[in-house]
Amino acid sequence: FPSRLPDVGTTIFTVMSALAAEHQAVNLGQGFPDFACAPALVDAVTQAMREGHNQYPPMAGIPALRQAVADKTAALYGRSYDAEHEITITAGATQAILTAVLCCVQPGDEVIVLDPCYDSYVPNIELAGGRVVRVPLTPGTFRPDFARIAAAITPRTRLIIVNSPHNPSATVWSDAEMRQLEALLAPTDVLLISDEVYEHMVYDGAPHCSAARYPGLAERAFIVSSFGKTFHVTGWKVGTVAAPAALTVEFRKVHQFNVFTVNTPMQHGLARYLADPTPYLQLPAFYQAKRDLFRQGLEGSRLRLLPSQGSYFQCVDISAVSDLGEADFCQWLTREVGVAAIPLSAFYGDGFDQRVVRFCYAKKDETLRAAIERLRRL
């Protein structure tokens, strides 16, 4: 039968993790921590199971978790979401983004994505029958180019998807850039998905400029986050969407016939764990130390380090090391040097190859040191 996604193969993350396992390479490819989450979080989930929280929770998520998310958003970003009507618990950010796309994109609607972008956005738009409009971030710096974004907006534009801190480039949008986006969208009906899964990974004292802080953005936004990133539990697949009530009504129509709801004991455990803000408030310092360890280790190597303002990714320019294209380089690096990375070309529609690859530094210090030792030999 005709494929709904004729151009889609296996994701680069799965491919590179399998290759890393095959060659016993240090896996700095797929983004996930190789260290344990907090024991207190596991205890909270275990306790919830023992207490009998094992049946379907409410469709939108348990009230205590929705309230905890609303409280956190109000405290950090100054916007009060109504937990009952404006916060929904999802099966990770992946399901949140797909559901948001499906609930607002009609066949033929145009959706703007900024290249390079996370690999699920484009297939999500295609599943909804939308037309993908790719606008490149500025080559070299990966900053948004508002003139190009403005030029891409037409009367058929329904949605734009932005992501800060950014995967894969590790850039973080500034307050001025968020204001520019707000001004650009003000005269339009364009909706926004703001993918903020790395909201707690912004370094060097910079703020995370959540769309929630900007009234002109928040009123049109599905703001997506993921506990997988924040609490080192990518396998749990629990995320959140904050959106104004009218958008949330439409979101939940799709959500209820997509997953209906999300696993109960994790929600109870997370709600309890969120009562103490310390873990997520300490996250920038925790990951900044890993970023600095990795960067210092690679200083003096022939890999040219790009900035890593946020997320847990470090991009490097490989042109002084190899004549190979990015994808071939990542294969070679995994097989011959024993370190797995992700080619940035995987995040571009046209496979644009600028000789840059992405490493994930959400790893034990000893893992990072093992990778550094190998990479310094290049």
Q: What are phi and psi of 145, to 5 degrees?
A: -110, 95
**Residue owning tokens 């190597």:** 301
Task: Please tell me whether residue 367 binds ligand GLN under the rule CB under 6 A.
Answer: no
CB of 190 or CB of 327, closer to ligand GLN: 327
Q: Which of residues 14-43 bind ligand GLN (CB under 6 A)?
A: 30-31
Q: Any alpha helices (H) in 105-242, and if so which ranges?
A: 121-127, 146-152, 175-185, 215-218, 227-230
Distance, CA of 221 to CA of 198 (rounded, Å): 17
Task: Please tell me whether residue 234 binds ligand PMP under the rule CB under 6 A.
Answer: yes
Contact segment (CB under 6 A) with ligand PMP among 38-46, 91-99, 181-189, 242-250 equals 91-99
Task: Please tell me whether residue 13 binds ligand GLN under the rule CB under 6 A.
Answer: yes
Task: Please tell me whether residue 174 binds ligand GLN under the rule CB under 6 A.
Answer: no
**Sign (positive or negative) of CA dihedral 188, 245, 311, 178:** positive
Write down the least CB distance from residue 51 to ligand PMP, Å.
Answer: 26
Task: Please tell me whether residue 226 binds ligand PMP under the rule CB under 6 A.
Answer: yes
Contact segment (CB under 6 A) with ligand PMP among 149-157, 232-240, 251-259, 355-363 equals 232-240
CB of 88 or CB of 163, closer to ligand PMP: 163
Distance, CA of 220 to CA of 353 (rounded, Å): 34
Q: How many residues does the chain have?
A: 378
Phi-psi region of 216 (alpha: psi -120 to 50; beta: other; left: phi over 0): alpha
Distance, CA of 248 to CA of 269 (rounded, Å): 24
Residues 25, 41, 68, 93: which binds ligand PMP (CB under 6 A)?
Answer: 93
Task: Please tell me whether residue 284 binds ligand PMP under the rule CB under 6 A.
Answer: no
Q: How many CA atoms lie within 13 A of 255 on its CB side?
A: 27
Determine whether 148 is exposed, middle or buried from the number of CB atoms within 10 Å of its CB (0-12, 13-18, 19+): middle
**Residue 305, strand partner residues:** 316
Determine whether 301 is exposed, middle or buried from the number of CB atoms within 10 Å of its CB (0-12, 13-18, 19+): middle
Write down the least CB distance from residue 135 to ligand PMP, Å.
Answer: 17
Task: Please tell me whether residue 165 binds ligand GLN under the rule CB under 6 A.
Answer: no
Write down the least CB distance from residue 202 to ligand PMP, Å.
Answer: 14
Q: Which residues contact 291 (CB under 8 A, 6 or more apart)?
A: 203, 308, 312, 314, 361
Residues 126, 195, 199, 326: which binds ligand PMP (CB under 6 A)?
Answer: 195
| Binding partner of residue 288 among ligand GLN, ligand PMP, none, CB cut-off 5 to 8 Å per kind | none
Residues 27, 67, 90, 167: which binds ligand GLN (CB under 6 A)?
Answer: 167
Write down the least CB distance from residue 117 to ligand GLN, Å.
Answer: 11
**Residue 194, strand partner residues:** 162, 223
Distance, CA of 106 to CA of 126 (rounded, Å): 10
Task: Please tell me whether residue 92 binds ligand PMP under the rule CB under 6 A.
Answer: yes
Task: Please tell me whether residue 239 binds ligand PMP under the rule CB under 6 A.
Answer: yes
Task: Please tell me whether residue 263 binds ligand PMP under the rule CB under 6 A.
Answer: no
Residues 29, 31, 284, 343: which binds ligand PMP (CB under 6 A)?
Answer: 31
- Measured N-to-C along each axis, helices 63-77 and 264-273 cross at an angle, to the nearest 10 degrees, of 40
Q: Which candidate, 282, 336, 364, places its Cα nearest to that of 25? A: 336
CB of 47 or CB of 234, closer to ligand PMP: 234
Task: Please tell me whether residue 116 binds ligand GLN under the rule CB under 6 A.
Answer: no
| Binding partner of residue 194 among ligand PMP, ligand GLN, none, CB cut-off 5 to 8 Å per kind | none
CB of 11 or CB of 180, closer to ligand GLN: 11
The residue whose Cβ lies closest to ligand PMP is: 92
Helix, strand, coil in percent for the chain, rounding step 5: 45, 15, 40
| Binding partner of residue 11 among ligand GLN, ligand PMP, none, CB cut-off 5 to 8 Å per kind | ligand GLN
Q: Which residues bind ligand PMP (CB under 6 A)?
A: 31, 92-94, 118, 163, 167, 195, 197, 226, 228, 234, 237, 239
Give residues in contact with ligand GLN (CB under 6 A): 11, 13, 30-31, 167
